[in-house]
Amino acid sequence: MNQGSGPRRTAEILDATLRLLAERGFEKLTIEGVAERSGVNKTTIYRWWPSKAALLGAALIDAPMLRFPVPDTGSLHGDLAALARSLSRLLTEPPTAPLIAAALGAATHNAELASYTKAFFADRLAGELPIFERAAARGDLPDGADPMLIMDALAGAVWVRVLLRQLPIEPGFAENLATLVHPAAR
């Protein structure tokens, strides 16, 4: 949460934005609707976020419900499996699953929103880098390993299984995926 980067009741405004997105979709999301749901005057919201794409972009990056603790299990395999489990939950369980599907769908045909989702994924990767720094310090990450590529494969597998194949996440999926994309065994 960026203290000081929004009006009072920023948390309520951003939470209302995400819940209305999940309920109505991006087309029917309006700043007026967010004002009504959060109890904040719409001119206040417009002053801070000049468009609904800007408001949704801020909501995606700051929303507590889309954050999970960066794992520190003591091994890279354990940390990767924990990330896969957290992401699986975000993509399959309410309230986050419908919200993420709606944001993804909207970003595919709204260039302004796409620029905010790009910033969202860059922000998340920056938050995950300490996992790889700790692994390197332990000797658990070979020279030349590429943290972004590992995260692409790890996160991408969860996205493909849930959103493209539309199949359930089975027991052992996170551990097997962590084993597959862990580069240290080479």
- Least Å distance, CB 66 to a second copy, is 14
- Least Å distance, CB 110 to a second copy, is 9
Other CB atoms within 10 Å distance of the CB of residue 147: 17
Per CB under 8 A, the list member of 7, 109, 123, 127 interacting with a second copy is: 109
Count residues binding a second copy (CB under 8 A): 43
- Least Å distance, CB 147 to a second copy, is 11
What the block records as the tokens of 167 is: 């199949």
Per CB under 8 A, the list member of 5, 104, 130, 168 interacting with a second copy is: 104
- Residue written as token pair 């976020």: 49
Cα(138)–Cα(117) distance, integer angstroms: 33
- Residue written as token pair 């310090």: 137
What the block records as the tokens of 43 is: 């001119």
Three-state secondary-structure class, residue 171? coil
Give the binding site for a second copy (CB under 8 A).
25, 101-102, 104-109, 114, 117-118, 121-122, 125, 146, 148-161, 163-166, 173, 176-177, 179-181, 183, 185-186
